[in-house]
Structure formats: structure tokens, C-alpha cells
Structure 1
């Protein structure tokens, strides 16, 4: 506990600017060079084809990193552009996992892209294209993996594949995750004729790569084969990068000196770095990796890509990497002109102030003009419209505005206006009906103005906040590499919160349980249908449902406002005679089977285990009670989520909280009281249940607690 408190104290100091990061650049200060990408991306593979750099990465900050397959490209390693690649789906089902990509150029001039996927086993699948950005064609029309689960030995999970082309033209693959209890990384040779089959594959003995976890990466320095990999846990600050070396692609490997060479730094400004690749520029080497966000999202699944210099002492020895918020020195002269909005004054309709049991942090409007990908302006809540005004200080020529919204692969609807006096506004760009995602969004015009006003009107996904990493303004036009543009989405803008109580069920409203259904007095209406063993009882004058092994299921669909990252409140007056270590679901509203491994399951529970309060997937993402409510007493338990922070309150007092971004699957879900869609029955008494499609404040829920409190005689 002392260690955890010390960690939070240090990190808060860092992000309020009282501790200086490497090279005397604050992690949240203007112009910080790391992270290099404006968004949530992990497991980066960096390549250079021609004069363009590409970063292929896992799209993060969706449950279990199940975002779109995208690529970033740049000519100067500073200004990056995002593109959603066209990847054909499996014949049997659509896929959402595009994990840890790698790409190699074949001898035939074609490009071969490889992704991990765990929706149909944990396999590596391959694709081919004439271009580094696609469109892509499957290497196997029958969806046969390039590297299948259980290869090269039974039970081995085939993920995190990276390929290495040796000087003799042979291509070797290295893969494996959770290898510390799966027998070590695997290595094999890729068949160059098909580019879709492995041969001569074996496991590398564990002792040759001490303290491993995942993400093997092979490179060559002189005559030495350097097998780099990530160790410890990707979910917390222990994640790191290590290496071993050999005279052969197959080993045996000798653990290198200075391990781990990259790890969480002293001031915690680089937290949980790992799963990397390496860029070689002449005789210099650069390590490209991901680190956790701040404030940190639960489970470490909101990651960002960084780059730092990596130095070899000799062919088999890597120095410890010194991670720097400054980033690397400019390697290439950029053709992009001055951003005249850099450090410009800003105002906004609102901004989000995160207050929780872990953090006190503000998403300030000024973060939108600081040219720092670690910071963003975020509105106070996920309602729209919300606006941001940039004051350029004087009248200036404006020909291009580039806006980097929080999520690169989902569209935002917005408008840009300009003004000379901040009173009379003219339209610069009307994207109020936009359905095309992109980062940055590029809007060109030719005007003179002092003020720019961005108004965010709607978003593609439920619960997305109006939020901007950076807004950049230019007085002249310049070339955009590749000129790629995403296809418009066919999905209409997301449902917005009704700001209403959607469920209201109170036992005192019913005289008996002779009926099999009970009216929901909340705004969505419907009836709760009884199943299993439930009785209506009176305890010291308090009427309550006694759940033994039963459930009340609403016959109405779950509102679309609760989909994906939608905000919510679930409040229950409950008395639990005996608290179990698991199960004991009070309310659930998500289809656990909808997305398989990628599903985020939402429920309020009352148990003493890891998911005693907020239930989502497993111990890495669930939220337990800090202090489990006492058994045998009436408690008002409330779970809220505002789109950023999930909180659980017990009797009006905040008990625990965590940063989250959900991916709720509700299409086939039901609102269930007393159980989940997989059972996990609650056994005890429930007097009332209220649900809202927005997050109540502590003041609001305390008022609700008083209004609904069951009164004993």
C-alpha cells in the first residue's frame, strides 16, 4: 500500500509540472516529442518504404484493444497521418482483433502484413498487397493461419509475431505470448514461396530469455542476432524490454547485459514501456515502443507510441535506454510550415476535471494548442455541442486547419468558424454531416482571422467526448504524403443520453409475486419478467424481493445510449446476508457472448472478489470494493460511469474508482436484476433498483439515497 501511495504521489507531481522529465521537458509541457502519435495505439512496428515511414500498431483503448486496423505514415517522423486499412474479414465471421501487426516486403515487391487474432483461436493471419497501406488480400481464402494456435507445440498461443529477413534472404518468424508459462518463445522459417507457411519451428528454452512475457523482436547487429522481448506484465509499471543474443537465428541465446534496457523511469513519466520495434537510420538505432497513458486507464489498455534513441556498446551489448519526453532530435528537415496556433490562448465551453480516488487532473483547453500528444482538451461531459476557441493573438492568414480528435478511427461531426472580433463568426469548414474518420482532419480555406472556433456536434460512437489532442493552424498549404482518405462510415451518429431514469423498480409498489411480471416505471417502460426462485417478503416493515436463485428480466431492449462507452448509473438498495467471493450480480445490462474475448461486460456486483463492484472481464479490468459493505445490513450501492471514470459508492460515500473506456455490447442484451446472462445469481434482498443513462453526481445520488431509503418499522 505504501508503495502504491508513493507511486501516485510521484506521478501526480510529474503531471502538475513539479518534476521535470528527461532533458528538462515536462511530460505535459508544450512541444514534448513523445508520444509521437496523437491517439491510443500499442505494439508498434515501424518501417521505412521509400521515403515514407510507416507505423503499424494495435488500435487501443477499446476493450482488449479491438479497434480498426490502421496505419500511420510520415515523411519527417514528426507529422503523422492515419489511415484505416481495408482488411478482408474471415469467411465465418467478422473480426475485431488486429493485434500486434508486422509487415515485410517480399522479393516480388509485394507487401505482406501479419496480424494476431484471438476470436477464432489465437492465430497469426496473413495478407498481401501491392502497397504498404493496402487494400489487402488474404493469403488464405479458407482462413488458414500462417501460424496457428498450438504451433510449434500443443497449447502454445500464437500471437505477437515479428519477422526478420537475414542477409541470405531467409525470413524467420518469432512469436509467443504469456511465454513464462508456455515454454518459451517460438522461432521458425517462413516459406518464401508462399509467405504463408512456417517450417522448422521450435521453442526457445525459457532460460535463454529470462523473465519473458511477450513481444519478441529480432534484429541483427554485425554478426550477432539480437532477440529483444518484453517482460513482466503489460498491465502495470513492471512492463519492460529485455534482450538476448546469439550467433544464429535459432540460438542458443545468451542473456544480454544491462537488462532490462527499457523500463518505467524514475519519475514515472514513462510508465510500463514495452512491445517495441527498432528503426535503423544509417548507423543510429531508435526504439519505438508504447507506454501507458496518464491518468492511467485500468488494465493499461490506453497506450501511446514513443520513440527514443537506442545505443549499442558493441554488437552484443545494448545500453540502457533513457526515455525522454523531449523525444529524439530532428532527423529529417520537415516541409511542414510553422503551426501558428502553437501556444495560442484558448477558451472552451467546458473542460473535464477528473476527480477520483486516484487522480485530480484537468483536461485543459490549453492542451489543444500545446503540440503535445500526451495531453488533450476534453469537454466536461460527453454531451454536445461543445466548443473550443483559439486566439491567434492578431489577424493572420489561415489556409489550413488540422484537427486531431481523440479517436482517429471514428468520425466526429463538427464545424470550424473564424472571426476577427470573437463576436461575428463566419463558416470556415462545415463538417456537421461528416461521416469520415481521420487524424488529422484537414480543412482548407483562405481567410484572414484572429479567432478560430471548433464546435463538436456529434460522434460516431456512443459516449465519445468532444476531445482534441491538437488543433494546428497554418498560413500556407503544404504537401500531404500519399493523399489517402478513409471511406465514409455507413453508421449514423451515436445515440445521445436521454438524461432520464430509465429503470425504476421498487418492491413496495407490489403486494405479492403472484404475477410473473412487474411494471418498470422508468422512462423506457416495459415489464420485468420473473424467473427462478424469487419471493416478496417484509423485513421489519421493509418490503423487498428475496432472491434465492432467480432473476427479473426487462422485456425491453437495452437503450442504445448505454452502448459502447455510454454513461450510466445503477443504484440498488440491498441487504446481503452472506457475501460470497464471486458472482452475486445485482444488475447487469450487457451481452457477454456478443464479442467473445473482446467483449466488455457491464454489471454491478456485491461480492468480496476482484469484481466485487464493477464487472467487465477479469481481474485486470474489474473494480472491487476497497471496503466490502457489511453483510446483513441495508446498503445503498451505486455504480456510475461518466465515460471516463467508473465509481462505486456505498451509502453515499465514494468507495473506489477507476479510469475506463468501455465497449459495451448491448444488441442482444437484457437488463437483468439479480443475475447475469450467464447466471451468477445474487442471494439476498433487494428493495429497489434505479438506472439512468448518465452518471449521477455524488450530490444527486445522495439525494436519491434519501428519497428511496426503505424505512423500518
Structure 2
């Protein structure tokens, strides 16, 4: 018997107004580790650009790119003329009415352009970039002399200023700085042939270097606790806001939860640049999605600012990653911000210019954390319980990849369910590259009693591969049980890292935690923060920043972790404030009292 009160059926053709990170795109199986026998889907180093009335997402190892008109739905574009062996950490530029694309390289490679990227039509601007002045060849990289530049440009970024001048920024290293130089794109001479279309105007100059001894967040390792390994500086991106230039960079390493975004600010495209005391401008060390470094910052059609970044999975290979999208912006005094609070919960995509302080967070809470999960079959070392632990590196594996396998989550009582995210894992997937059968098909069902079921969403005719399938229901569903019913995945095995259910339980919001203590340690890059537990809390957000109304940095913690955090992300000589909020299935508490973290404490 169908439970008609559950609500209307959602289909694959419904138009969601919300999204949740990681972005729901068809991440590509790639050949990077084929010789190692490792198969996984990945996406990293996103460059998002608005061209015409659409957005284009380029990333590492994709053999193409994605097109969107709303930043929610993304369609893969297979280019018709693609000389790249698979671009890595690409740079984009909109200039002269064209969309330009440059791949990372250690030797001269093409610069492409398109006036019809939606249909995958590309041409050469130049088949070979001119050599970087003063750079050694890739063969001589390990015998460099003082003053020589490494080969490149690796991790490039392109930027055109208001006066039409174009600049190139690049490098990825734990030894070398980020470099920059002015380019002459020769737009006026474009008809004279590819070989005359690009030249360096200035010699490359170093623009910034990491300083982990002063900047806690630039230290390597999980939670910035490795004080011996040299951190990596990479992922340049430039934006102009007003009369200031914001050169963004990534550190300390993509394979950690603390991969973040920093920014230095200057009055000219090549500096000199000033280190921003509010760094890291973007960081997400806790939650299901961790890491936000090496991305891009862009404006949407309404003038809202967004930042993309690279998130870490690391279950099959160190560099197994995903893409995230986060609200961003600039305060009136020029401070840049990226908001990662509840960054892996559902957010609304605005259809208007956001007002100061307007939040995109839906308020739909995580209902599935540590809830009882049951499966039709499981491998012994990969039980159903792994699908509700908010850890993408643990996962349920069915005994066979056959239609009809089920994974059920008991929410513990009736809840109002609004969205479900099915995060597939690659366990012995055995796939490389692309193939017609790489599609993800399933049905989501709901029940109040575990006996009578109704369809919540039917994706049994889906034509895309969706490693992180996010499904917003057409109507809220009042259910206790949510069941995944398997139809097809292209992998050799059926594995799900987390079946994440979002919505709300009835009842009052949680009470605010009391911030017991907050103090800088002897190494003032670190702070010890202690708060009281809140009964029934699912988790807490430790929030810090330069002022009580600028708590832009968040470390999300779950309630089964200690209510004490040693924060390693601070800059020496900078005064901070910190506060804590609790969240549960009903919503979010008010903030605790704000405490000071003075620089000299």
C-alpha cells in the first residue's frame, strides 16, 4: 500500500533549487593510476568561468568540461578539437569576446580559444606557448641554478585587468614561489597567424612564498600538525575588486583535510602584495567534505560571488578528490571571505543579488548521522553502518552488484525529509576512462513503518554517472525509513560511502553551548578551545575570525568527538575572536558568548 501522505514522486527531470557539496557532476574515471591497477573517479582544481549566459567548469583529468546555466545542473561537453592528453589544473580567461583555456605544462603547449564552448568547438590561439623567460627545460629542473625558474607554467592562472592587459600567474612547489608576468595576447594581430599571438611583456617575478613559521594554516599534515614537511604553494587565481588585486593561492597540500585558500592583496596586478591577516580566507577541515583549496572565484549573473575548491576523498589514491562550491564575497573595507559553514549541507541557489549577510543555507539538517543502517547484503569488512558515519573513506559494499540490492536507514522516528545525497565509493571498480554503461540508476523509497513503502525519487532511467548524486524531493516526505533500491552503476561493485538524509525533526532548537575557555597556546599559531556539551546535539561549529560579525572560518565537529579543539590555523600577531554553536536535527542554536584570542596570549 502506497503512503500517499509521503508526497509526490521526484524524477530525474525535476528541477532542484538547492545543491549540496560535493557537486553532483559526472566525475570521470581516469587513467592516472591505471598501471597501478587502481580505479577511481576524481575531480580537482576547478576553474569556473562565466561566458555569455552560461558557466563553464574545467578541472583536472576530465578530457572535457561542464556547462551550466544555473550553477546547479551541469552537463559534460566533449570537445570536437582537443589536443590535450587530459588537461591538469587549467587556467581560463574571457577576453576579446573569446573563452581561452590553458593547461598546466612543463614544456610549451597549446593555448586554445572558443566562441562556442557550449558545443565543444575550439581553435588554437597558438599551438605552442613561448618559453618562459629564464626558465630551465623540464629535463634540467633538478639541476637549477640560483635565479633560474622552474619549467612551466604549471598550475597557471590568467587574468585581464580593466585596461586590457593580460597577466599569467603560475607554479606548484614546496620550494619555489608563485610567479607572475604580463603577457601580450596580441588580440589586434589575431589574423596574422598563430605564431604571433602571444609573447611575454615582462620577465617573470616571484610574488609570494609560504611562511608556515608565522602562519599556522600553512603547515603541512592533517590539522596542520606536521611541522617538518615543507608545505606546497600552488593554485594561483586572481580577482580584482575595486582598486585592489586579490591573488589567491592554495596550501599546504591537497591530500589533507586542511587544504585551504589564502590571499595576498596588492594595488597592482604584479604587486607588491600584502598578506591578509584573516587568512586562510577559505578552509573546511571538518565534516563529510573536507578541503577547499585550489579553485576559482567568480561572479554569477546576479553579481553574487562564489568560490570553488578541491575536496579530499583519498580512499583509493592520495589524489582522489571532488569539487565544492561556496558563497564568497568582499566586505566594504576590502576583506575577502569564503563561507564554508554547513558547506556540505543543502544550500539554496539564489535567483537574485544576495543582500549583505543573506545566507544560502537551507536549514535542512543532517538526519542520518550514526543512524542504524540495514542492507540486503554486505561484505564483512564493509558493513551497512559505514554508510551513516560521515566519512567518505569508509563505505558499505554489497555482496553483488545486482539490481534490487537495498540499503535502508532508520531515522529513529518520523522526520520531514527534503533531500537525499547518495555518495558512491569506488571499491575495486575496475573502470578507466569513459564508457556508455557508466550511468547511475536507483530508486529512493520512504516508509513510516518499515513495511509499507512509497517512491520518493525515481532515477531508474538516469543517463549520467553520478558519484555524488544529490536529490531534492519535489515535496517534503514524512517518513522514518529511507531506502536505496539499486538498479545500476558502471563499477564492478556496488559501494556507497554515505547515504545522507536531510530535513528536520519536530521540536525546539538546541540550546547554545557554553564556551568554557579559549586561549592561545605558547605557540600562538595554536589555540585551545573548550565548550560544554549540549544534550541531543549532532555536532558543533567552532567559528572564528577577526571580529564578532566576521566569524568566517568554521571547524565542524560531531557530538561523538571531544568538546575540545586545538585549533592550528591561526596567524602569529593577529587578534581573533571565537564562538561555538550547536546543531541537531531540529536546527542550529544561537551562538555562545564570543571570546577573545589575543595575539600575545
TM-score, length-normalised on structure 2? 0.51
Relative to 1, partners in 2 of residues 1:191 and 1:245: Cα closer, same or farther, differing over 3 Å?
A: farther
Q: Provide the secondary structure at the position in 2 that maps to 1:276.
A: strand
Structure 1 residue 275: Cα displacement: 0.9
| 8 A contact 1:117–1:125 mirrored in 2 | no
| 8 A contact 1:416–1:454 mirrored in 2 | yes
Partner of 1:216: 236
Partner of 1:437: 465
Relative to 1, partners in 2 of residues 1:326 and 1:271: Cα closer, same or farther, differing over 3 Å?
A: closer
Q: Does 1:130 align with 2:149?
A: no
Query: Counterparts of 1:401 and 1:230 in 2: how far apart (Å)?
Result: 31
Q: Provide the secondary structure at the position in 2 that maps to 1:111.
A: strand
Relative to 1, partners in 2 of residues 1:430 and 1:184: Cα closer, same or farther, differing over 3 Å?
A: closer
Query: Counterparts of 1:430 and 1:305 in 2: how far apart (Å)?
Result: 25
Structure 1 residue 223: Cα displacement: 1.9
Which of 319, 324, 332 does residue 350 from structure 2 map onto? 332
Partner of 1:70: 65
Q: Does 1:144 align with 2:99?
A: no
| 8 A contact 1:404–1:471 mirrored in 2 | no
Which of 272, 275, 288 does residue 256 from structure 1 map onto? 275
Query: Counterparts of 1:354 and 1:202 in 2: how far apart (Å)?
Result: 58
TM-score, length-normalised on structure 1? 0.44
1:576-629 per-position Cα deviation (integer Å, ceiling 9, x unaligned): xxxxxxxxxxxxxxxxxxxxxxxxxxxxxxxxxxxxxxxxxxxxxxxxxxxxxx
Partner of 1:98: 87
1:368-419 per-position Cα deviation (integer Å, ceiling 9, x unaligned): xxxxxx769943257312323578999x9x9x99977558977246454879
Relative to 1, partners in 2 of residues 1:259 and 1:352: Cα closer, same or farther, differing over 3 Å?
A: farther
Q: Does 1:162 align with 2:162?
A: no
Higher normalized contact order (CA 8 Å, seq sep 6+, divided by chain length):
2
1:150-182 per-position Cα deviation (integer Å, ceiling 9, x unaligned): 567333222322222322334433233338437
Q: Provide the secondary structure at the position in 2 that maps to 1:233.
A: coil
Partner of 1:227: 247
Which of 78, 91, 106 does residue 86 from structure 1 map onto? 78
After superposing the two structures, state which structure 1 stretch, 411-420 or 276-285, moved more: 411-420
| 8 A contact 2:444–2:484 mirrored in 1 | yes
Q: Does 1:115 align with 2:103?
A: yes
Structure 1 residue 222: Cα displacement: 1.7
Query: Counterparts of 2:303 and 2:472 in 1: how far apart (Å)?
Result: 39
| 8 A contact 2:315–2:393 mirrored in 1 | no
Relative to 1, partners in 2 of residues 1:296 and 1:390: Cα closer, same or farther, differing over 3 Å?
A: closer
Query: Counterparts of 2:384 and 2:303 in 1: how far apart (Å)?
Result: 41
1:6-46 per-position Cα deviation (integer Å, ceiling 9, x unaligned): xxxxxxxxxxxxxxxxxxxxxxxxx9955455764321223
Q: Does 1:380 align with 2:397?
A: yes
Which of 356, 364, 371 does residue 387 from structure 2 map onto? 364
Structure 1 residue 225: Cα displacement: 2.4
Query: Counterparts of 1:409 and 1:192 in 2: how far apart (Å)?
Result: 37
Structure 1 residue 229: Cα displacement: 1.9
Structure 1 residue 86: Cα displacement: 0.9
Q: How does 1:527-546 map to 2 (within 5 A)?
A: none
| 8 A contact 1:36–1:305 mirrored in 2 | yes
Query: Counterparts of 2:275 and 2:326 in 1: how far apart (Å)?
Result: 21
Partner of 1:41: 43
Query: Counterparts of 2:80 and 2:340 in 1: how far apart (Å)?
Result: 37
Structure 1 residue 301: Cα displacement: 3.3
Partner of 2:206: 206
Structure 1 residue 135: Cα displacement: 1.6
Unaligned ranges ≥5, structure 2: 1-17, 28-41, 138-150, 212-231, 353-361, 427-432, 504-601
Query: Counterparts of 2:235 and 2:264 in 1: how far apart (Å)?
Result: 13
Q: Provide the secondary structure at the position in 1 that maps to 2:318.
A: helix
Query: Counterparts of 2:486 and 2:394 in 1: how far apart (Å)?
Result: 12
| 8 A contact 1:343–1:366 mirrored in 2 | no
Partner of 1:614: none
Query: Counterparts of 2:451 and 2:286 in 1: how far apart (Å)?
Result: 45
Query: Counterparts of 1:290 and 1:419 in 2: how far apart (Å)?
Result: 33
Partner of 2:517: none
Query: Counterparts of 1:272 and 1:452 in 2: how far apart (Å)?
Result: 29
Query: Counterparts of 1:237 and 1:284 in 2: how far apart (Å)?
Result: 27
Query: Counterparts of 1:83 and 1:319 in 2: how far apart (Å)?
Result: 30
Partner of 1:647: none
Partner of 1:456: 486
Structure 1 residue 343: Cα displacement: 4.7
| 8 A contact 2:407–2:484 mirrored in 1 | yes
Query: Counterparts of 1:35 and 1:85 in 2: how far apart (Å)?
Result: 20
Query: Counterparts of 2:498 and 2:161 in 1: how far apart (Å)?
Result: 42
Q: Provide the secondary structure at the position in 2 that maps to 1:299.
A: coil
Relative to 1, partners in 2 of residues 1:180 and 1:190: Cα closer, same or farther, differing over 3 Å?
A: farther
Unaligned ranges ≥5, structure 1: 1-30, 60-65, 368-373, 474-713
1:521-552 per-position Cα deviation (integer Å, ceiling 9, x unaligned): xxxxxxxxxxxxxxxxxxxxxxxxxxxxxxxx
Query: Counterparts of 1:303 and 1:67 in 2: how far apart (Å)?
Result: 12
Structure 1 residue 226: Cα displacement: 2.3
Q: Does 1:178 align with 2:208?
A: no
1:192-236 per-position Cα deviation (integer Å, ceiling 9, x unaligned): 354974323545433645557222111112222222222443334
Structure 1 residue 51: Cα displacement: 6.1
- Alignment RMSD (CA, Å): 5.5
Query: Counterparts of 2:310 and 2:450 in 1: how far apart (Å)?
Result: 40
Query: Counterparts of 1:321 and 1:341 in 2: how far apart (Å)?
Result: 21
1:287-342 per-position Cα deviation (integer Å, ceiling 9, x unaligned): 3322323x766534324424143444634xx35756423479756159xxx99999
Which of 465, 473, 477 does residue 495 from structure 2 map onto? 465
Relative to 1, partners in 2 of residues 1:82 and 1:387: Cα closer, same or farther, differing over 3 Å?
A: farther
